[in-house]
């Protein structure tokens, strides 16, 4: 033992307090209101949480444990073995995870052991909110099915930017064994060298050799997992073909997405058809057909929101509560002038068939930030007429992983101009005016004070004070501009964008 000094996360402590086990681990440690006092959140060996408040000078209630080399080795080993065996015997569900650092949350355990494992031939759509650990749930299900001898070979299909993350997460949390399938794997006929694979959806959709090699009748998959499964809908024909090939011909299918519906019943029904074609019929090819709202049952569907997720005690919330407020912020006179100038350029230089999409793209970028509008205009200046709208959309869809905003912009910036030379001159003039405005330190964007005063400062977030916020924006251009402007005002802002490399995002 050592006298109480400071406490830190992960520290092992001995406790003398009513209702708290003798030994626990510090999960959170915050200095109290008075100097020398502490507010501690402790976790016991059964993952139950306990709150302990220490008054200044209290060195007896909670004492940090230190290694002094004085304990009897045999007794220490016996105690460790007893604790491990007790956990394994009383919670058989954890046995597959005994050799890994993974400790699933209650909602993850409920999904895997309560909803998925009881089904010998799983056909399931897992739609929990982003950040709830759907990857962990899929991996935990896979490992348990392997342990029971029900699954030998499995393949995970995900967007290209997530493939290496799946491999890394399996290695870090689930004991490894997952390999990425590439075109080289097929060329070298190495598919049978491993039982667990992850393949890029884009590769499977465009490479006939890969698509042929992963056919279930050839590869013998026992399980197919689709991550970001909303991309399998008929609006993306190549992806939908991969979904049909694998999901309909593999005995077990797990589809995961945080956006199963997207406000379109037709798309939702197509996903459910992949989940279980016998229960959910094909809704057809007409996206405008009137369809009643389906309410799939727990055998096929699970969706939970963060507000409803709790720890094992049933009361401790895993995520803080949220409130949403809409702020109406009209464009300033300067911003509206540039907005109108951009739309006027659409009327002057775009062919009538291309004008509706161009007006939407220019208008939304101008409303997001003048910097985003200027960047779009620069790309238009460089690429107008360089390729067809269809080819530009295909490339953007592949590179930006289905980002509809990027696909729309790609169509607009590549479409032909009614007068290329005159439009480029008009773009140069407008971009120079925008740059002069944006670079002027006296200029105040209409949204800026709403962000810094009403959103940041109102919640105690000021330059340099260490408090954190996450700012989302639809366009990467606006995100880059916001980060730079925050940095200029003393905030330690960092950018997270799909344009960054995987290493930068990590």
State residue 104's pLDDT score.
86
Question: Structure tokens of 19?
Answer: 């209702």
pLDDT at 367: 94
Is position 420 within any domain? Answer: yes
* CA proximity to 377, closest of 305, 438, 465: 438
Query: What's the mean pLDDT in 431-440?
Result: 94
Based on the fold, state whether residues 291 and 344 are members of the same structural domain.
Answer: no
Q: Are both 128 and 243 inside the same structural domain?
A: yes
To the nearest whole percent, how much of the chain has pLDDT over 90? Answer: 53
Decide: 338 and 373 in contact? Cβ < 8 Å. Answer: yes
pLDDT confidence band for 325 (50 / 70 / 90): confident
159: left (phi over 0), alpha (psi -120 to 50) or beta: beta
User: Which long-range contacts (C-beta less than 8 Å, at least 24 apart) are formed by 331-337?
Assistant: 331/367, 331/446, 332/444, 332/445, 332/446, 334/437, 334/443, 335/366, 335/370, 335/445, 335/446
For residue 224, give the nearest of 204, 208, 207 by alpha carbon. 204
pLDDT at residue 85, as a whole number: 43
Of 78 and 19, more confident: 19
Q: What is the pLDDT of residue 102?
A: 76
The number of distinct structural domains making up the chain is 3
Give dist(CA 174, CA 330) in Å, integer: 50
272 and 145 belong to one structural domain? yes
With residue 253 as reference, give the H or E element that holds it.
Answer: strand 252-256
Tell me the mean pLDDT in the region 184-203.
92
Do the domain assignments include residue 317?
A: no
Could you say which of 308, 325, 346 is where a domain stops? 308
Q: pLDDT by residue (tens digit) across 62-94?
A: 998 887 777 777 777 766 655 544 444 345 444
Instruction: Check whether residue 188 and residue 54 sit in a common domain.
Output: no
pLDDT tens for each residue of 209-230: 999 999 999 999 999 999 999 9
**Does the predicted model carry a pTM greater than 0.85?**
no
* Residue 217, both tokens: 């009748």
| % of residues, the chain, pLDDT over 70 | 92
254 and 216 share one domain = yes
Beta strands in 98-216 (DSSP E): 123-126, 154-158, 178-181, 196-200
Strands 178-181 and 196-200: what pairing? Answer: parallel
pLDDT confidence band for 142 (50 / 70 / 90): very high
DSSP-derived letter for residue 228 is S
**Spatial CA neighbour of 160 closest among 504, 502, 495, 409:** 502
Query: Is the domain of 56 the same as that of 105?
Result: no
- Round the average pLDDT of the chain to a whole number and report it: 87
- pLDDT over threshold 90, residue 19: no
161 with 302, same domain?
yes
Tokens matching residue 495: 């950018």
Cα separation of 454 and 445, whole Å?
Answer: 14
Domain match, 123 and 256 both = yes
Strand partners, 225: 156, 254
- Tell me how far CA of residue 490 lies from CA of 56, 381, 441, 459, 473, in angstroms: 36, 34, 14, 17, 20
Q: Which helix (H) or strand (E) holds 62?
A: strand 62-64
Report the alpha-carbon distance of residue 120 to residue 252 in Å, rounded: 8
Q: At 299, which CATH number?
A: 3.40.50.10810
How high is the pLDDT of residue 402?
56
Lowest-confidence region among 70-79, 196-205, 461-470, 497-506: 70-79
Distance (Å, rounded) from C-alpha 408 to C-alpha 396? Answer: 9
The verdict on residue 506 lying in a domain is: no
- Confidence category of residue 96, pLDDT binned at 50, 70, 90: low
Kindly state whether residue 323 falls inside one of the protein's structural domains.
no
- Which segments of 410-469 are extended strands (E)? none
Is residue 72 a part of any domain in this protein? no
Residue 133: give the domain boundaries: 101-308
Candidate from 232-236, 340-344, 353-357 with smallest mean pLDDT: 232-236
- 54 vs 62: CA distance, rounded Å: 8
What is the Cα–Cα distance from 133 to 107, expressed in whole angstroms?
Answer: 9
**Structural domain includes residue 280:** yes
pLDDT digits (tens, 9 = 90+) for 168-189: 999 988 888 999 999 999 999 8
Q: What is the mean pLDDT of residues 370-378?
A: 96
Looking at the fold, whether 432 and 289 belong to one and the same domain comes out as no
> Given the structure tokens 């954190």, which residue do they identify?
468
Cβ neighbours around 390 below 10 Å, total: 10
Does residue 51 sit in helix, strand or coil? strand
Specify whether the CB–CB gap between 12 and 63 falls below 8 A: no
Residue 93's pLDDT is 47
The pLDDT value recorded for residue 421 is 94
The per-residue pLDDT for range 278-324, each reduced to its tens digit, is 999 999 888 888 888 888 989 999 999 988 898 888 888 888 877 88
Residue 415 in any domain: the answer is yes
Asked if residue 347 and residue 295 are part of one domain, the reply reads no
What is the rounded distance in angstroms from the CA atom of residue 246 to the CA atom of residue 244?
Answer: 6
pLDDT tens digits for range 38-63: 888 898 887 788 888 888 888 889 99
pLDDT digits (tens, 9 = 90+) for 460-490: 999 989 899 999 998 999 999 999 999 999 9
- pLDDT above 90 (res 389): no
Segment 438-468, tens digit of pLDDT: 998 889 999 999 999 999 999 999 998 989 9
Chain Cα centroid distance, residue 176? 21
pLDDT of the residue at 100: 61
Q: Is the pLDDT of residue 274 over 70?
A: yes
Domain shared by 247 and 339, yes or no: no
The predicted structure's pLDDT at residue 136: 93
Q: Which residue has the tokens 């067809």?
A: 388
- Please state the φ and ψ torsions of residue 302, each to the nearest 5 degrees: -145, 125
Length of the chain, in residues: 506
| 482 part of a folded domain | yes
Strand order in the sheet with 252-256: 178-181, 196-200, 154-158, 223-227, 252-256, 123-126, 301-302
Say if residue 152 is in the same domain as residue 289. Answer: yes
């Amino acid at each position: 033992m050592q006298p109480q000094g400071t406490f830190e996360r992960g520290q092992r402590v001995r406790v003398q307090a009513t209702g708290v086990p003798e030994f626990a681990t510090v999960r959170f440690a915050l200095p109290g209101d008075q100097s020398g006092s502490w507010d501690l959140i402790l976790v016991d060996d059964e993952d139950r949480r306990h709150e302990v408040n220490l008054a200044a000078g209290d060195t007896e209630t909670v004492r940090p444990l230190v290694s002094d080399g004085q304990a009897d080795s045999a007794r220490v080993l016996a105690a460790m073995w007893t604790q491990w065996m007790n956990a394994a015997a009383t919670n058989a569900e954890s046995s597959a995870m005994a050799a890994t650092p993974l400790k699933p949350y209650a909602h993850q355990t409920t999904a895997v052991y309560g909803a998925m494992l009881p089904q010998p031939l799983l056909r399931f759509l897992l739609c929990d909110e982003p950040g709830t650990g759907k990857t962990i749930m899929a991996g935990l299900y896979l490992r348990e099915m392997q342990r029971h001898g029900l699954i030998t070979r499995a393949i995970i299909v995900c967007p290209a930017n997530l493939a290496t993350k799946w491999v890394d997460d399996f290695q870090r949390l689930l004991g490894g064994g997952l390999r990425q399938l590439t075109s080289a794997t097929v060329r070298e006929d190495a598919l049978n060298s491993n039982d667990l694979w992850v393949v890029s959806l884009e590769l499977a959709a465009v490479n006939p050799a890969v698509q042929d090699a992963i056919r279930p009748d050839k590869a013998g998959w026992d399980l197919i997992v689709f991550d970001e499964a909303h991309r399998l809908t008929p609006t993306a024909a190549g992806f939908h073909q991969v979904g049909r090939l694998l999901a309909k011909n593999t005995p077990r299918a797990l589809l995961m997405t945080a956006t199963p519906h997207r406000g379109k019943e037709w798309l939702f029904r197509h996903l459910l058809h992949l989940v279980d074609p016998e229960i959910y019929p094909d809704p057809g090819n007409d996206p405008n057909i009137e369809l009643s709202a389906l309410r799939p049952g727990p055998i096929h569907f699970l969706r939970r929101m963060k507000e409803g997720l709790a720890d094992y005690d049933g009361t401790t919330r895993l995520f803080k509560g949220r409130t949403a407020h809409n702020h109406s912020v009209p464009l300033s006179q300067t911003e509206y002038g540039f907005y109108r100038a951009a739309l006027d350029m659409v009327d002057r230089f775009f062919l009538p068939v291309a004008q509706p999409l161009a007006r939407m793209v220019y208008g939304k970028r101008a409303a997001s930030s003048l910097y985003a509008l200027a960047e779009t205009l620069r790309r238009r200046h460089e690429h107008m007429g360089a390729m067809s709208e269809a080819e530009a959309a295909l490339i953007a869809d592949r590179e930006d992983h289905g980002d509809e905003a990027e696909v729309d912009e790609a169509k607009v910036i590549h479409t032909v101009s009614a007068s290329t030379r005159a439009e480029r001159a008009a773009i140069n003039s407008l971009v120079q005016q925008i740059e002069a405005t944006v670079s002027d330190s006296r200029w105040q964007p209409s949204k800026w004070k709403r962000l810094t005063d009403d959103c940041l400062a109102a919640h105690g977030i000021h330059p340099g004070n260490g408090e954190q916020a996450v700012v989302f924006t639809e366009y990467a251009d606006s995100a880059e501009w916001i980060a730079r402007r925050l940095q200029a005002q003393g905030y330690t802002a960092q950018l997270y964008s799909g344009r960054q490399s995987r290493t930068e995002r990590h």
